[in-house]
Structure 1
Amino acid sequence: MITTAITSELVRGTAEIETTARGLRPHRLPASVRTRFPDPQLLMAESQPSGVRLAFSTTAEQLELVTHPTRVVYLGADRPRGHVDLMVDGELVHSDTLTGGSYTEVNMSTGASRQVEGPSHTSVFSGLRAGSKVVEIWLPHNESVELVELRSDAPVKPHRSGRPVWLHHGSSISHGSNAATPSGIWPAVAAQLGGVELINLGLGGSAVVDPFTAQVMRDTPADIISVKLGINVVNLDSMRLRSFVPAVHGFLDTIREGHPETPLLLVSPIFCGIHEDTPGPGAFDPASFGTGQVKFIATGSPEGVAAGQLTLRVIRDALASLAERRSEDANLHYLDGTSLYGAGDAAAHPLPDALHPDSATHRLIGERFAQYAFAGEGPIGQVGKRAVV
């Protein structure tokens, strides 16, 4: 077997790659952000390589990738392990479930935690078809990993597809929460259907109109940009209507500093029954502890809306109005998130934890987004097939 050094040339969808004692850790936000605002939730989310993949061409028929996963385990909540997905010429060939690694065990009832160390994991992909092919190895969306070693029975060469680059920012739903595999999160599904290269800034619990996120997007080369805002602002009860609308204007203005004419899609939240008319904060439902499926609840009161508290209905109205007032920007488009997943979908595709979609619903959302955004008649479907490097 040939051992190939894992370098930035092989990795797609990252902002930076950190050298560690074991190997390389992909980051989706640069060190400047992580240093200035080391919020534990943000650091955990950005270090989980949602949408990040190794991309190369090879004639190899066997591949092995050694990773060291790091995750959080909540007692009483059976959260599935992350996966490493192998795609060959755009087709999912195998999904390997992670084992081992390090984890922090958290008791949600007491808040106590402990650290547990385990061995690294080796994903083995054998029996690949003979001949030249383009391989993508999608890293887990829900566990941080260090890339330790890449082995193959034939040389590998970094691959650049030349497809348009889609830069997307959103919440834990865009991050991939409750999806089973990394290539099955809705932005990955949409990217595959739309023929674009994904850079995913879906950051669980952290889509709260942070100026530094807009600055990262401003400075990231992209052909297509989308911003999905709302649910985390409600979850955290972090803003009132008076501050939310100007903050979104500023967020978009910052992106436009680096991308003055790039197609930009503003997306409001999908349907979520607990927060449609009830403000946050959101919280874990104590009644669900120990059941194997932790659920979420809204702890605010609908009466708070009169004082400026935000619900999903309020946010959708505010974002639609905001987009109308920016009508001078011909390349700004607005998409109501309930067209991706609405009240009518909740019966057939209920949110298992009352907040995040399951794997089938991730696919549904990805298909609908791709049809709207990337189809020939869509608002950004006519973007030229140029490469961004």
Structure 2
Amino acid sequence: MPDRNDWIAVPIGPDLLRGAAEWERTERGLLPHRLPAWARAQNTDPQLAMAESQPSGVRLVFRTEATSVELDVLPTRRIYPGAPPRPDGVHDLLVDGHLAGQAVATGGDTITVDLATGTAEHRPGPVGTVAFDGLPARTKNVEIWLPHNETTELVALRTNAPVQPTPDKERPVWLHHGSSISHGSNATSPSTTWPALAASLGGVELTNLGFGGGALLDPFTARVMRDSRADLISVKIGINVVNADLMRLRAFTPAVHGFLDTVREGHPTTPLLVVSAIYCPIQEDTPGPLAFDFESLGAGELRFRATGDPAERAVGKLTLTVIRDELARVVAQRSVDDPNLYYLDGRELYGEEDFAELPLPDEVHPDAATHRLIGERFAGIAFGEGGPLSAKRP
């Protein structure tokens, strides 16, 4: 450990922060947000409010010769009595794009949620520190990826050598919107969610608007995408619309058109890939809403079940099969006048055969190995030569 007298207090500002729309100054630090304040003001869903404050894809990026780095943070952790404990959020430190360290902060606030009633109790806790030592003694790019699964306030950054911002225009920016799977549910760390892995393999800068439970074709999300910097765009649509039982087919189709219209107002010719849901047996042909399987919870397992009636598809209730067919039709219709619009069936990323080998542990979300599989496949299909988001598109 170097002499503490050599440590430098590094101001945390926008020049070091990637992947966030903005930040909020709190009593103890800076809270990154993935939706700007005006969009948050239009949201009334506490699930989305939680999800957007969890910094999936958000990282501190800088160049330095420092061999030691410390970051003081205030995590907010959620406890669900009766359910399996949620893993603490992990901070990943990358050196020149390669994982060089991981750390979990102690302390932090807790929110205890009763799954049966939805009531919550908030208890404040102390600031914690994550420390990384033994980094290479040379000039290098350092990235600290913040936990994808817990709200994290940034309090202070210290290094034992000066820090310079890294230019933010070295790689194309990939703007992605999706559900909890894109958010990173069940991934083991923030740099190993499937979008983070795909971005690394594809050589692009990720802005992740994957929101657990929040890929619902919200107009304010489309406007955020419209106004965001993006060289490449993808939107993954389907699972949340089904499991929230949010709308019927009559409303879904114009909502998709409206979402794409809004994105195109800001990015009229940017490559835009529409991706449908990965294979999910419980909702392939059964509508939502999705519910906790309380019998499994009683046995200490977290699992979900679909509660809809397949017969209700006849009156417009949505399933993943219905949505995939409609997304393919909408993209085919629009691409006549929009040659930079593409469609990808999510089952090419994870399909029925994959489920047999790598089942979804809770019936909805992939495990760590499946996140890697999806990330590798997306990178090959989308960013590979000739792919819809590649530099050498057909």
Q: CA RMSD in A?
A: 1.2
Does residue 200 of structure 1 match 2:205?
no
| Distance (Å, rounded) in 2 between the aligned partners of 1:112 and 1:371 | 44
Instruction: Give the structure 2 partner of residue 262 of structure 1.
Output: 270
Instruction: Give the structure 2 partner of residue 338 of structure 1.
Output: 347
Instruction: Give the structure 2 partner of residue 387 of structure 1.
Output: none
Q: Return closer, same or farther for 1:292/1:86 CA change in 2, 3 Å cut-off.
A: farther
Q: How far is 1:110 from its partner? A: 4.5
1:346-380 C-alpha deviation (Å, 9 max, x unpaired): 11111111110011100100000000011112122
Does residue 148 of structure 1 match 2:155?
yes
Instruction: Give the structure 2 partner of residue 366 of structure 1.
Output: 375
Q: Which moved more, 1:281-290 or 1:305-314?
A: 281-290
| Distance (Å, rounded) in 2 between the aligned partners of 1:209 and 1:114 | 30
Q: How far is 1:113 from its partner? A: 3.0
Q: Helix, strand or coil: the match of 1:8?
A: coil
Q: Return closer, same or farther for 1:15/1:83 CA change in 2, 3 Å cut-off.
A: same
Q: Which moved more, 1:25-34 or 1:38-47?
A: 38-47
Query: Normalised by the size of structure 2, how large is the TM-score?
Result: 0.96
- Structure 2, unmatched stretches of 5+, are 1-6
| Distance (Å, rounded) in 2 between the aligned partners of 1:248 and 1:382 | 26
1:259-309 C-alpha deviation (Å, 9 max, x unpaired): 000000000000011101100000100111143331100000101100100
Instruction: Give the structure 2 partner of residue 97 of structure 1.
Output: 104
Q: Helix, strand or coil: the match of 2:28?
A: coil
Q: Among all aligned residue pairs of Structure 1 and Structure 2, give the percentage whose two residues are the same amino acid.
A: 61
Q: Helix, strand or coil: the match of 1:226?
A: strand
Instruction: Give the structure 1 partner of residue 198 of structure 2.
Output: 190
Instruction: Give the structure 2 partner of residue 306 of structure 1.
Output: 314
Q: How far is 1:36 from its partner? A: 2.2
Q: Helix, strand or coil: the match of 1:289?
A: helix
Instruction: Give the structure 1 partner of residue 386 of structure 2.
Output: 377
| Distance (Å, rounded) in 1 between the aligned partners of 2:35 and 2:260 | 18
Instruction: Give the structure 2 partner of residue 350 of structure 1.
Output: 359
Give the ranges of 4+ consecutive aligned residues of structure 1 lying more than 4 Å apart after TM superposition: none
How many aligned residue pairs are there? 384
Q: How far is 1:383 from its partner? A: 6.3
Q: Which moved more, 1:354-363 or 1:72-81?
A: 72-81
Equivalent residue letter for 1:273: P
- Structure 1, unmatched stretches of 5+, are 385-389
Q: Helix, strand or coil: the match of 1:319?
A: helix
Instruction: Give the structure 2 partner of residue 45 of structure 1.
Output: 51
Q: Return closer, same or farther for 1:106/1:308 CA change in 2, 3 Å cut-off.
A: same
Does residue 160 of structure 1 match 2:145?
no
1:222-273 C-alpha deviation (Å, 9 max, x unpaired): 1000000010000110010111011101100110000000000000000011
**Among 49, 74, 92, the residue aligned to 1:85:** 92
| Distance (Å, rounded) in 2 between the aligned partners of 1:123 and 1:98 | 5
Equivalent residue letter for 1:307: V
Does residue 138 of structure 1 match 2:145?
yes
Instruction: Give the structure 2 partner of residue 69 of structure 1.
Output: 75
| Distance (Å, rounded) in 2 between the aligned partners of 1:371 and 1:193 | 8
Does residue 27 of structure 1 match 2:33?
yes
| Distance (Å, rounded) in 2 between the aligned partners of 1:313 and 1:126 | 49
* Contact kept? 2:108, 2:125, Cα under 8 Å: yes
Does residue 124 of structure 1 match 2:131?
yes
* Contact kept? 2:386, 2:392, Cα under 8 Å: no
* Contact kept? 1:164, 1:383, Cα under 8 Å: no
Equivalent residue letter for 2:173: V
| Distance (Å, rounded) in 2 between the aligned partners of 1:239 and 1:71 | 32
Instruction: Give the structure 2 partner of residue 169 of structure 1.
Output: 177
Q: Return closer, same or farther for 1:299/1:168 CA change in 2, 3 Å cut-off.
A: same
| Distance (Å, rounded) in 2 between the aligned partners of 1:339 and 1:109 | 36
